[in-house]
């Protein structure tokens, strides 16, 4: 789930594409990264809309990024001037221009992102306690909403791109945030011609012993299949968990420490008394 350090917010400000690139390059890309922009005063004073979407959910390479943006309802026309659209329908240059324009609109628009590292995704999905990619996605969205609330954003309506069935996801979010209007919508993702490029990377950058760098999501079947084709085959001996019965007629060492009930012992009268026909009449 997303979290952030308030001390970071005081020292770090991303206000351009260059500062964003510098911020990311200084971080450990094997760890999740969270950032929230400065909150415009109008977002604290007037009711706001807040939207959440993700990028990189399906690829075998790289992180999954969850992002949110928010602005006052009476200023939402700014979104049209920014020419925001589905990232898959935009080339890299256009996305860079839009981000720069968002930074220039910092008095009306705020934003936040959580960059979920590939090894974090894999460790979650392969853990003993089931933690699916859908749940990772939902927790990231919930973390972004909570971060905006904690920073004072006056949210009125939340829009979320669905994970799974929209109705079920919407009901789940309303149970957590009952104060807000929530709309979860299903959006058809457009295909993107990058599949072959990923396969080439998996072949070229596979170490036959150690596999892939942390950029690769090793829990994806794509990387598993590429490892089977490229890496050395290794067999691990499984530990025999079947219990063998103890030998017959063999005394267990624990039997020497077992507590046995005491036998009742009848004390005989001393012969001095019996020979003289003396008996005890008074109990002490």
Q: Taking the domains of the chain in order of start, what are their residue ranges?
A: 6-190, 193-231
Q: Dihedrals φ, ψ of 280, to 5°?
A: -85, 125
Higher pLDDT, 59 or 264: 59
Higher pLDDT, 192 or 280: 280
* Cα gap 119→31, rounded to integer Å: 8
pLDDT tens by residue, 52-96: 888 877 777 778 888 888 999 888 888 778 777 666 677 788 888
Cite the annotated binding site by residue number: 53-54, 161
Q: Decide: helix, strand or coil at residue 185.
A: strand
Query: Which residues face 158 on adjacent strands?
Result: 50, 182
Q: Quick one: which of 30, 35, 1 has its CA closest to 20?
A: 35
Strands, E assignment, the chain = 33-36, 48-55, 64-72, 110-116, 155-161, 181-185
Cite the annotated binding site for a divalent metal cation by residue number: 53-54, 161
| Pairing mode of beta strands 155-161, 64-72 | unpaired
For residues 70 and 43, the answer to whether their CB atoms sit within 8 Å is yes
pLDDT tier at 231 (50, 70, 90 boundaries)?
confident
pLDDT tier at 7 (50, 70, 90 boundaries)?
very low
Q: How many CB atoms lie within 10 A of CB 116?
A: 25
Query: Which residues face 250 on adjacent strands?
Result: none
Please return the burial class of 20, using the count of CB atoms within 10 Å of its CB with bins 0-12, 13-18 and 19+: middle
pLDDT at residue 176 is higher than 70: yes
* Cα gap 81→98, rounded to integer Å: 10
The greatest distance separating any two alpha carbons of the chain, rounded to the nearest whole angstrom, comes to 124
Superfamily of domain 6-190: Ribonuclease H-like superfamily/Ribonuclease H (3.30.420.10)
* Cα gap 85→283, rounded to integer Å: 103
* pTM score of the predicted model: 0.66
* Cα gap 256→258, rounded to integer Å: 6
């Amino acid at each position: 789930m997303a979290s952030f350090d308030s001390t970071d917010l005081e020292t770090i400000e991303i206000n351009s594409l260059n500062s964003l690139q510098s911020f990311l390059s200084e971080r450990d890309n094997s760890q999740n990264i969270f950032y929230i922009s400065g909150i415009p005063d109008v977002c604290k004073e007037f009711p706001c809309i807040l939207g959440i979407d993700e990028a990189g959910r399906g690829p075998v390479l790289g992180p999954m990024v969850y992002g949110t943006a928010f602005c006052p309802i009476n200023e939402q026309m700014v979104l049209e001037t920014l020419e925001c659209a589905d990232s898959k329908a935009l080339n890299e240059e256009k996305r860079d221009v839009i981000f720069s324009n968002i930074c220039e609109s910092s008095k009306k628009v705020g934003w936040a992102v959580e960059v979920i590292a590939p090894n974090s995704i894999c460790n979650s999905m392969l853990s003993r306690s089931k933690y699916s990619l859908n749940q990772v996605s939902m927790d990231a969205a919930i973390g972004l909403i909570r971060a905006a609330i904690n920073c004072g954003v006056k949210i009125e309506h939340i829009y979320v791109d669905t994970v799974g069935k929209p109705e079920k996801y919407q009901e789940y979010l309303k149970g957590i945030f009952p104060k807000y209007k929530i709309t979860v919508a299903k959006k058809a993702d457009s295909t993107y011609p990058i599949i072959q490029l990923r396969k080439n990377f998996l072949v070229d950058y596979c170490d036959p012993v150690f596999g892939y760098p942390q950029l690769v999501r090793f829990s994806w079947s794509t990387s598993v299949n590429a490892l089977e084709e490229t890496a050395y085959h290794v067999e691990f001996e499984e530990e025999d968990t079947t219990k063998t019965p103890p030998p017959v007629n063999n005394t267990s060492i624990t039997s020497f420490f077992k507590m046995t009930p005491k036998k009742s012992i009848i004390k005989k009268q001393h012969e001095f008394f019996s020979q003289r026909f003396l008996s005890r009449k008074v109990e002490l």
